[in-house]
Amino acid sequence: MDTARRRPIELIAIDMDGTLLDPGHKITPRVKDAIHTAIARGVRVVLASGRPVAGLLPYLAELGIAGNDEYCIAFNGAVVQNIGTGERVVEFTLGIEDYRYCAAIASELGVHFQGLDGERMYTPDLDISPYTVADSFLTHTPLSYRAVADMPEGMRFPKMMMIDQPAILDAAIARLPTGFAERFTSLKSSASFLDIFDGRAGKGPSLKRLADRLGIDRESIMALGDHENDIAMLEFAGTSVAMGNAIPAVKQAARYETATNAEDGVARAIEMFVLQS
Per residue in 211-237, pLDDT (tens digit) is 999 999 999 999 999 999 999 999 999
Task: Report whether pLDDT(52) > 90.
Answer: yes
pLDDT value at position 2?
52
| Alpha carbons 177 and 146: distance in angstroms, whole number | 25
Question: What is the pTM (predicted TM-score) of this model?
Answer: 0.90
What digits encode the pLDDT tens for the residues 253-273? Answer: 999 999 999 999 999 999 999
Residues catalogued as catalytic:
15
Average pLDDT over residues 237-243: 98
pLDDT value at position 277?
67
What mean pLDDT, rounded, does the chain reach? Answer: 95
On whether the CB atoms of residues 202 and 174 are closer than 8 A, the answer is: no
pLDDT value at position 7?
84
- CA neighbor of 18 nearest in space, from 246, 272, 250, 257: 246
Q: How many CB atoms lie within 10 A of CB 94?
A: 24
Q: What percent of the chain has pLDDT over 70?
A: 98
What digits encode the pLDDT tens for the residues 163-189? Answer: 999 999 999 999 999 999 999 999 999
Q: How many CB atoms lie within 10 A of CB 183?
A: 15
| Alpha carbons 115 and 94: distance in angstroms, whole number | 10
| Alpha carbons 110 and 145: distance in angstroms, whole number | 18
Q: Which amino acid type is present at position 122?
A: Y
What digits encode the pLDDT tens for the residues 77-135? Answer: 999 999 999 999 999 999 999 999 999 999 999 999 999 998 999 999 999 999 999 99
Confidence of residue 12 (pLDDT cuts 50, 70, 90): very high
pLDDT value at position 76?
95
Provide the sign of the torsion angle of the four alpha carbons 250, 164, 166, 181, taken in this order.
Answer: negative
- The CA–CA distances, whole Å, from 21 to 2, 28, 78, 216, 240 equal 25, 8, 21, 26, 18
Task: Report whether pLDDT(6) > 90.
Answer: no
Q: In what order do the strands lie in the sheet with 112-116?
A: 143-145, 121-123, 112-116, 159-163, 193-197, 185-190
Confidence of residue 5 (pLDDT cuts 50, 70, 90): low
On whether the CB atoms of residues 12 and 270 are closer than 8 A, the answer is: yes
pLDDT value at position 186?
95
